[in-house]
Chains A and B, each alone.
Chain A
Amino acid sequence: MPVCSYLVIPERGATEACAERLSALPGCEVVRAENRDVLLLVTETAGPAEERALRDALASIPGIRSLVLTFGELDTETAGRPPWP
């Protein structure tokens, strides 16, 4: 269950639209700054494949000037007895 966070800097005038588009994606929570045009995005996905798919989706959202990965934890579940090759 990977958890990541991003600092999102929208293009001028696109903050509201960006926030709506991001919030519509599964596993995405958006926090808007009270006094700046900047968003915080926290994502939670089911696994590494879903995480990669979400990143692709984020990259295609219009109106984002900059998307900075600020946190990434991919190992919230530990493995069991390692498989024999």
Chain B
Amino acid sequence: MRTDRRTFVKRLALASAAGAAASLMPGVSFGEEVARAIEGLSQPVWRKTPCRFCGVGCGLLVAIENGRAVAVRGDPDSPVNGGLACVKGYHSVQMLYGRDRITRAMVRRNGRLVEVPMDEALDLVAQRMRETIERYGKDAVAMYGSGQWTIPAGYVASKFFKGGIGTNNLEANARLCMSSAVSGFMTSFGLDEPMGCYEDIDHADVFVLWGANMAEMHPVLFSRILEQRERRRAVTIVDLATRTTRTSYAADRSLIFTPQSDLAIANAICHEIVKRGWVNREFVDRYVAFKRGKTGIGYGLEDDFRFTEEAVDATWDEYVRFLEDYTPERVERISGVPAREIRWLASLYGDPSRKVMSLWCMGVNQHTRGTWMNNLIYNIHLLTGKIASPGNSPFSLTGQPSACGTVREVGTLTNRLPKGEVTNEEDRRLAAEIWGVPVERIDPRPTHHTVSMFRALDRGEIRFLWIQVTNPMVTMPNLNRYRSAAQKEGRFIVVSEVYPTPTTDIADVVLPSALWIEQEGMFGNSERRTQHFEQMVRPPGDAMSDAWQMIEVARRMGLGELFPWRREEHVAEIWKEYIRFHDTPEHRMAPYEELKARRGVMWPYVDGRETKWRYNTKYDPAADPARGEFDFYGHPDHRAWIWLRPYEAPPEWPDEEYPFWLSTGRVLEHWHTGSLTRRIPTLHRAVPRAYVEINRQDAEELGIRNGEMVRIISRRGSMAAEARIDYRAQPPRGQVFVPFFDESMLVNELTLDAYCPISGQPDYKKCAVRIERMGMTLGGGPAR
């Protein structure tokens, strides 16, 4: 007999009351009827899945009853979270059932989106793609996806666009969150993704958090760190940040620095390590090379901006001379962090008896010198030899559930292929062979990274854009320009989504997508762990997985031979094809059957064993023991590279007209733009709208009271928000913070579209604004 959700909830309620009675009055009996009702609760089937939200990749168990997801718990067998979940994870299944779920395809007619049959919408998408290519060329069509794509969806996108159409106009929103991490890994080690894993947390003595509010953004991992401090008295947590957050309060020491000065602080730490003789000479001599790159590299603000990095050999002596500029006293003047604190921090890294883990995420990556900051953190670990061994770990956290698995490993970026770069002939040949296409079809020229892609849309070089699993009309920096671009005459925008968003608002076609466990898929988390999830419930209405939408359109365009799979088996078939790209000891991945059976598998997976610490010859089967304890095989010289990266100022700085720094980010309760978490009532009610955090003294000087509305104005736009003083985080004087989850308060209309020239990743953490009182409260009443 079918049990609906109401009945299930009432059974739960009855069971709770009966359980309370039994605990107070052992032996109490309520008869057969109650016993049967409670017994019925054990009927749901619990199935494993990685969480849909952040890049930690917590294992969850979802209860399915009569075709509906009815409950969630942390998976006690998951090596990631050991049964814990955060507030988003615990409430996650509710996001499947929001009442405004998009269930039918829609096409814009006379300015309005009207429902049409799915086949008709897919026909139209294929027709418009074909017409655009015929009229404007293959590089006039583009796909913009996400680190929330499943691995199969990302793989289909890459094969469709790069192997089928032959354009490199394929990007993903991970460009906005992780590309500096990628270019940091590539420049320092020659290969992407961390050498360590979460197990490092169980071994490290010191945790240095570089601009990462882990207490809110990666709460389950942060709780794992806090647990270590409970267990081991020697554990020290340092929060190095631009504002005081919940992470700062939990840390042993909080160091607040001026935005952008993290570059100088990292170099000052290295200066101290060298000066105090804390360099691990044996490690450096044997495993490290020194490189100098270009400086004064700009900020990408111009449409025709181009940049190519060059690595020039440098020497140890040149590096030491370079560091002379970064005395703690000089860096104190740049950063505001006292010289004694910088020395103390250096001593933590320099102490050979203490294992150190550095962790970072958007503070380092969303930075006009994001690649440099990644390099500089690696420099510290390489100088001290504290890397690639249990507890000694520079660890780049990710923001999205499959930024690593899909975007970075499958390579859904303009310059990437499932293995390697489009510019590399050998990589193109491998892709052509596996895809069964002529190698000439794979274009050797990268086209546009994300910001550049939207600028090309603005200029009319791109005419057709298909957006899946992301909400760029909330997240693009300098948003006004790119929203106007998408709405220009002659642009055709397709959006695959699950709920209405500001991005579906500008769409010509909306395709209803399956969400998370409504399809089979895989995600890859921050520690190189690939996790499979099966389809547990049916998607509503005509909703279809993003991967299958693309396959349907590709078939309509005559590219069906690339996608010969039956729908019931396409995920397994895609996985089997995809892992041929990584069939080497550096990146071998688990077979499909093992992925299905296990709680995720970390790659490289060789001879049935996961690799926890890459480049370490004791653990990594790809590392050559003849080279010693370590083998940094990503570079041809088998060395890791220390880069001479200077401090350079940001492109925009507070001045008399715009006297405040503006930083943006997330909050614990909301995922990215809130399109999912704002459909979950508990989370929506917890933080129903965005706000602006203002320092108390700044607020007093401006006459602003807590809760009154203020206008925040940059050179690009303005928005109104409630002022929050001494709320969950406190910016220092001269800074304000606004979260970006609220589509009614678009802070990215204010942000600057400057980016790291090496990675193409924009800086969402620094631009200049001014604050004006509005003299009213949110409801429109006068501010007192």
Chain A residues in the interface with B (C-beta under 8 A): 1, 3-7, 29, 31-36, 38, 40-42, 44, 68, 70-71, 73-82, 84-85
Q: A72 CB to closest chain B CB, in angstroms?
A: 8
C-alpha gap A74/B680 in the complex (Å): 12
Contact check, B29 vs A78: say whether CB atoms are below 8 A apart.
no
User: Contacting B679 at CB < 8 Å: which of A32, A44, A71, A79?
Assistant: A79
Chain A: which residue is nearest B99 at the CB level? A80
User: Contacting B98 at CB < 8 Å: which of A29, A38, A42, A78?
Assistant: A78
Q: Which residues of B contact A40 (CB under 8 A)?
A: 14, 17-18, 21, 30, 34
Contact check, A5 vs B689: say whether CB atoms are below 8 A apart.
no
Q: Which residues of B contact A68 (CB under 8 A)?
A: 20
Contact check, B25 vs A5: say whether CB atoms are below 8 A apart.
no
C-alpha gap A78/B5 in the complex (Å): 13
Contact check, A79 vs B17: say whether CB atoms are below 8 A apart.
no
Flag whether B28 is at the interface (Cβ < 8 A): yes
List which B14-54 residues lie within 8 A (CB) of chain A.
Answer: 14, 16-21, 24-25, 27-31, 33-34
Chain A: which residue is nearest B678 at the CB level? A82
User: Could you list 9 further interchain pairs (A-B, Cβ under 8 angstroms) beyond the known A31-B34, A33-B21, A82-B688?
Assistant: A5-B16, A7-B17, A38-B28, A70-B16, A78-B680, A80-B679, A82-B684, A82-B742, A82-B743
Contact check, A73 vs B13: say whether CB atoms are below 8 A apart.
yes
Provide 18 A-B residue pairs closer than 8 Å at the C-beta atoms, listed in order of the A residue: A3-B6, A7-B20, A34-B30, A35-B29, A36-B21, A36-B28, A40-B21, A40-B34, A42-B13, A42-B17, A44-B6, A70-B17, A78-B679, A78-B681, A81-B100, A82-B674, A82-B678, A82-B743
Flag whether B94 is at the interface (Cβ < 8 A): yes
Q: A30 CB to closest chain B CB, in angstroms?
A: 11
Q: A49 CB to closest chain B CB, in angstroms?
A: 16
Flag whether B437 is at the interface (Cβ < 8 A): no
User: Contacting B24 at CB < 8 Å: which of A7, A31, A71, A81?
Assistant: A7
User: Contacting B97 at CB < 8 Å: which of A5, A31, A44, A78?
Assistant: A78
Q: How many residues of B contact A (CB 8 A)?
A: 43
Q: Which residues of B contact A75 (CB under 8 A)?
A: 94, 681-682
Contact check, B29 vs A34: say whether CB atoms are below 8 A apart.
yes
Flag whether B232 is at the interface (Cβ < 8 A): no
Q: Which residues of B contact A4 (CB under 8 A)?
A: 13
Chain B residues in the interface with A (C-beta under 8 A): 5-6, 9-10, 12-14, 16-21, 24-25, 27-31, 33-34, 94-95, 97-100, 499-500, 674, 678-682, 684, 688-689, 742-744, 778
User: Contacting B744 at CB < 8 Å: which of A79, A80, A84?
Assistant: A84
Chain B: which residue is nearest A36 at the CB level? B28
* A68-B20, A82-B688, A85-B778 given; A5·B94 CB < 8 A: no
Q: B300 CB to closest chain A CB, in angstroms?
A: 33
Contact check, B98 vs A85: say whether CB atoms are below 8 A apart.
no
C-alpha gap A76/B105 in the complex (Å): 27
Q: A2 CB to closest chain B CB, in angstroms?
A: 10
Contact check, A71 vs B17: say whether CB atoms are below 8 A apart.
yes
Q: Which residues of A contact B688 (CB under 8 A)?
A: 82
C-alpha gap A70/B679 in the complex (Å): 26
Contact check, A34 vs B10: say whether CB atoms are below 8 A apart.
no
* A33-B28, A33-B30 given; A79·B678 CB < 8 A: yes
Chain A: which residue is nearest B24 at the CB level? A7
Q: B292 CB to closest chain A CB, in angstroms?
A: 50
Chain A: which residue is nearest B5 at the CB level? A76
C-alpha gap A4/B20 in the complex (Å): 14
Contact check, A3 vs B9: say whether CB atoms are below 8 A apart.
yes
Q: Which residues of B contact A44 (CB under 8 A)?
A: 6, 10
Contact check, B12 vs A79: say whether CB atoms are below 8 A apart.
no
Contact check, A80 vs B98: say whether CB atoms are below 8 A apart.
yes
Query: Lowest 4 A-B CB distances belong to which pairs?
Result: A5-B13, A71-B16, A84-B744, A80-B100
Chain B: which residue is nearest A84 at the CB level? B744
Q: Which residues of B contact A85 (CB under 8 A)?
A: 689, 744, 778
Q: Which residues of A contact B499 (CB under 8 A)?
A: 81
Contact check, A76 vs B21: say whether CB atoms are below 8 A apart.
no
Q: Which residues of B contact A73 (CB under 8 A)?
A: 9, 12-13
